[in-house]
Amino acid sequence: MNWRNELLAVWAVAVRNALMASRNVFFFFELLFWPIVGVVSIGLMTRFLELTPEQASFVLIGTIALSVVNVCQLEVAYAVLMDVWSKSLKHQFLAPIGIRHLTLGSWLVGIARGLAIFVLLAAFGWWAFGFAVLAPGLPAVAVFVFGCFLTAWIVGVAVCALITLFGNRAEAFAWASVNLVLVLAGLYYPVSVLPESLGAVAAAIPLTYFLDAYRAHFGFASEFRAPIATGLALGALYTALAHWAFFAAIRRARRTGLLLKMSE
Amino acid sequence: MLAIDARDVTKTFRSGWLRRRETHALRGVSLAVPRGAIWGLLGPNGAGKTTLLSILATLLTPDGGSVTVLGHDVLREAAALRHRLNMASGRPSFLWSLRVDEIIAFYGRLYGLHGAALRRRVDELVELCELVPFRRVQYSELSTGLKQRVALAKSLVNDPELLFLDEPTLGLDPDVSVRVRQHIARLRREQGITIVLTTHYMREAEELCDEIAFIKAGRIPARGTPGELKRQIRLGEVIALKLDPAAVEWLAEAPGVLRCAEAGGWVECTVDEAEKRLPELLRALHADGVVVKNVQVREPDLEEVFVELAK
């Protein structure tokens, strides 16, 4: 393996995604408008319900995680979606590009955008609602944010696999899938309130553990033993599975001709 | 030395969930393309041209047969092969918001170019494909012709040894088409690139290609140089005569004359062998008192060959 070429290919995808993002008229809405609308509405709701500062923190952590994961996973899904929309998929796969380059490059841009949103919402949450997102300290924040990015990566790669497998029909899944994952991960509530069957699904989602670990710093008892280690282990497993699924989907698309159909 | 060696290639597309439908796109295609050749692939729509091209370019996997391109097996060594080939399409499509130089640079990085070498390559290609005034223009704002030039520039970014051109002059203005054809010929002449070309324009194939394969319903029924193809299907040769009086009834019945037609004041006789029949016809016309004012002999053009083969 030529590491220089590997890094160049990842960089190529990252530069491409960053350029496209910077020229996207919806960029402002994705980066600023919707996340702030989310924090404002949830923040005001916590005031109306007269939640304690700890309870408000619990909910606002979920709101911030929602925005960060949403934007980051969308950027990863763009690795394939943009080429499907522009019908340039065949040019991309004619070049010596691997799925690792696509998903890593787009994930890097997703991380940059996710970090920008996190910082923005943390500052806004502190200013508007007195929410001290950084109070648990930088290592805890770093682990929590990484957990969000890892979840976003997995969902984004899975969406790429589905689009490559089913074509444009799967596009709606790109928008809907992450919300399903987030609801089950216990965004605004502890997963113990979920019905038993859904609780088992929640326990299979890495973000559940990262939310749990972070909320523990705000005084909420952890529902899991070793949540960070469990979250990381599950994340590593799903990352490998999602990449395998994406690889298999591309191989199938080369066999069925879908790769060409999506470029016509 | 062969650039492409494909044997008995088959490909069937399957669609539908409940009622499976099968389309046999390739039914045992074999071809051998020598290095440094410009090789044409002609055929009606749906004949299998794009399928074959896509298999050779590693975009599609064959169901059966063997395909070796530049010494690499397209199934087992596709990754290595992709570094050495490239493709430009007559219906190009790239990310809409990227500028011309950004598109070329993106693909350049994928082929391992970076820094000054990448910048130099982008500059060279922008100049070569006459894109200098448009290098900072977003792709979505370019005309069809300019988009095709971007596709051509992108296809050269890795100095490919094998270049696939899928209808490279489709929809271009005639003057631009001429320049693209000149450019393709120059690529082979100066850089020795092997070029596989699909086109609907017979003149383009005749002008550029060393050899042509005609593909129809997933098979290659005829192949050869443009001249060989014409001979293979026995279209005959055309003797065009300008006569006084303009029409001579017995001409169509003369020995060796396959058919006669009038076109623009000329009588065009298609004969089995012009070299043998021309003196006979001239003697007969002279004996009949017909004045022959002008004579032209020509081979049928490739378009007529195409029409005949596509029947």
Task: Write out the residues of chain A at the interface with chain B, using a CB-CB cutoff of 8 A.
Answer: 2, 4-5, 8-9, 11-12, 15-16, 19-20, 23-24, 82-83, 86-88, 90-91, 93-98, 101, 254-257, 259-260, 263-264
* Helices assigned H by DSSP within B111-173: 115-128, 144-155
Greater pLDDT, B77 or A32: B77
Q: Which of B95, B96, B99, B103 has the most A C-beta neighbours within 10 Å, making it the best mutation to test the interface with A?
A: B95
ipTM of the complex: 0.90
Backbone angles phi, psi at B212, to 5 degrees: -130, 140
Instruction: State whether residue B87 sits within 8 Å of chain A by CB.
Output: yes
Cβ contact B60–A9 (<8 Å): no
Q: What is the largest CA-CA distance in chain B?
A: 79
Q: Which domain holds residue B13?
A: 2-231
Chain A residues with beta carbon closer than 8 angstroms to that of B61: 254-255
Task: Return mean pLDDT, chain A.
Answer: 90
Report which of A163, A169, A105, A129 is spatially closest to residue A46, judged by C-alpha positions. A129
The DSSP H or E segment spanning B189 is helix B174-191
Would you call B111 and A95 a contact, using CB atoms and an 8 Å cutoff? yes
Provide the pLDDT for residue A183. 84
Structure confidence at residue B229 (pLDDT): 75
| Number of domains, chain B | 2
The string of pLDDT tens digits covering residues B213-262 is 988 889 998 888 877 776 666 567 788 999 888 777 888 888 888 888 88
- Whole domain around residue A202: which residue ranges? 3-261
> Terminal CA-to-CA distance of chain B, rounded, Å?
34
Instruction: Write down the pLDDT at residue B231.
Output: 67
C-alpha torsion angle, residues A168, A170, A176, A180 (rounded to 10): -170
Cα distance between residue A43 and residue A113, in whole Å: 22
**Regions in chain B scoring below 50 on pLDDT:** none
Q: Which of B211, B231, B251 is the last residue of a domain?
A: B231
Q: What is the CA radius of gyration of chain A?
A: 19
d(CA B141, CA B96): 8
Question: Which residues of chain B are within 8 Å of residue A256 when distances are taken between CB atoms?
Answer: 13-14
Q: How far is CA A20 from CA A71, A222, A263, B94, B147, in A?
A: 14, 41, 19, 12, 18
Cβ contact B66:B44 at 8 Å: no
Domain limit, last residue, from B207, B231, B255 = B231
Q: What is the pLDDT of residue A244?
A: 97
For residue A169, the distance in angstroms to the closest alpha carbon of chain B comes to 15
The answer to whether A102 touches A8, Cβ cutoff 8 Å, is: no
pLDDT at A138: 92
CATH code at position B189: 3.40.50.300
Q: Are residues B140 and B10 in the same domain?
A: yes
Residue A163 amino acid letter: I
Q: What is the pLDDT of residue A98?
A: 92
Give me the DSSP letters along A189-245: S-GGGS-HHHHHHHTT-HHHHHHHHHHHTTTPPPSSSSHHHHHHHHHHHHHHHHHHH
> Do B225 and B263 share a domain, yes or no?
no
The pair of structure tokens assigned to B179 is: 């320049």
Are B63 and B171 found together in one domain?
yes
Which of A35, A18, A61 has its CA nearest to residue A215? A61
Whether residue B240 is found in the same domain as residue B215? no
Q: Pick the closest to residue A64 from A130, A140, A144 (CA basis).
A: A144
Q: Assess whether B242 and B227 both reside in one domain.
A: no
Residue-level pLDDT at B4: 95
pLDDT, tens only, A200-233: 899 999 999 999 999 999 888 888 989 999 999 9
Q: pLDDT digits over A95-111, tens only?
A: 999 999 999 999 999 99
Same domain, B37 and B83: yes
**Distance between CA atoms of residues A26 and A175, nearest Å:** 15
Cβ atoms < 10 Å from Cβ of B285: 19
Angle in degrees, 0-180, between the axes of helices A53-86 and A206-216, rounded to the nearest 10: 150
Answer whether B111 sits within 8 Å of A82, measured CB to CB. no
Q: What CA dihedral angle connects B101, B106, B110 and B111, to 10 degrees?
A: 0
pLDDT score recorded for residue B110:
95
Same domain, B21 and B87: yes
B148 shares contact with chain A (CB less than 8 Å): no
Could you give the CA distance from residue B227 to residue B211 in angstroms, rounded to a whole number? 9
Length of chain B: 311
Q: Report the 10 Å Cβ neighbour count for A3.
A: 7
Q: Does B223 share its domain with B83? A: yes
On whether the CB atoms of residues B229 and B214 are closer than 8 A, the answer is yes
What angle, rounded to 10 degrees, do the helices at A138-166 and A171-184 form? 140
Q: What single-letter DSSP state applies at residue B273?
A: -
B130/B25 same-domain check: yes
Query: Contacts of residue B55 in chain A, CB cutoff 8 Å?
Result: none
Number of domains present in the structure of chain A: 1
Contact predicate A125/A39, CB 8 Å = yes
DSSP string, chain A: --HHHHHHHHHHHHHHHHHHHHT-TTHHIIIIIHHHHHHHHHHHHHHHTT--HHHHHHHHHHHHHHHHHHHHHHHHHHHHHHHHHHT-HHHHHHSS--HHHHHHHHHHHHHHHHHHHHHHHHHHHHHHH---TTTT-HHHHHHHHHHHHHHHHHHHHHHHHHHHHHGGGGHHHHHHHHHHHHHHTTSSS-GGGS-HHHHHHHTT-HHHHHHHHHHHTTTPPPSSSSHHHHHHHHHHHHHHHHHHHHHHHHHHHHHHSHHHHTT-
pTM: predicted TM-score of the whole model, two decimal places:
0.85
B306 in the same domain as B157: no
Residue B146 to residue B138: CA distance in whole angstroms? 11
Query: Same domain, yes or no, for B202 and B262?
Result: no
Q: Which of residues 59-78 of B touch A (CB under 8 A)?
A: 59-61
